Amino acid sequence: MSHSHKVAIVVGSLRKASVNRMAAEAVTRLAPDHLHFEFVEIGDLPLYNEDVDSGDVPAAWSRFRDQIGAADAVLFVTPEYNRSVPGALKNAIDVGSRPYGQSAWAGKPAAVMTLSPGGIGGFGANHHLRQSLVFLDMPVLQQPEAYVGGAFDLFDEAGEFKHDGTRAFFQKFADAFAAWIARAAPAPQA
């Protein structure tokens, strides 16, 4: 019997009509029913400053830390900016990892999907993000690697797949992530 797991989704793009958000939504539609997804917003997080963390902590930081802390696993879906992750995503990683010794990320299984209009599908951002996740003690799904190129030709206006091959790849990714969570996440408390 599969246990139900709560999965936080962190999207690196802040755009309203983000293809990354469409991709994350597509994964949620394809994943098994025992995974319960929650989008955790990062656009309202003030820049991390350790001085602020020792005083009156911004409500957005507390909300974010609580949402990540309550999750059993995390799915990161992000574009690539300058061969790395967007600044908002890096800031969210920093906010969630602090105060030192109280990281909300620690031990949570994760998966990374990067999207790009170019042919290498956000390879740089994918691997740069994985570097941080190793330090954060987040076991990351290794296969299938999800560098998704041609991002602006994947979905129609309703967010549905335009191509069967794309749908098949996303299905493979969603199934592998579900299996990874089952292996790597502790069983939720009843």
Tens of pLDDT along 110-143? 999 999 998 888 999 999 999 999 999 999 999 9
- Digit-coded pLDDT (tens) for 80-90: 999 999 999 99
Per-position DSSP letters for the chain, written without gaps between them: -PPPEEEEEEES---TT-HHHHHHHHHHHHS-TTEEEEE---TTPPPP-HHHHTSS--HHHHHHHHHHHH-SEEEEEEE-BTTB--HHHHHHHHHHH-STT--SSTT--EEEEEE-SSTTTTHHHHHHHHHHHHHTT--B--SS-EEE-SGGGSB-TTS-BS-HHHHHHHHHHHHHHHHHHHHHSPPPP-
- Digit-coded pLDDT (tens) for 14-57: 998 899 999 999 999 999 999 999 999 999 999 999 999 988 99
Q: Give all domains of the chain, ordered by start, each with its CATH number.
A: 5-184 (3.40.50.360)
User: What was the pLDDT predicted at 180?
Assistant: 97
pLDDT at 1 over 60: no
Instruction: Tell me what the pLDDT averaged over the chain comes to.
Output: 94
User: What was the pLDDT predicted at 2?
Assistant: 59
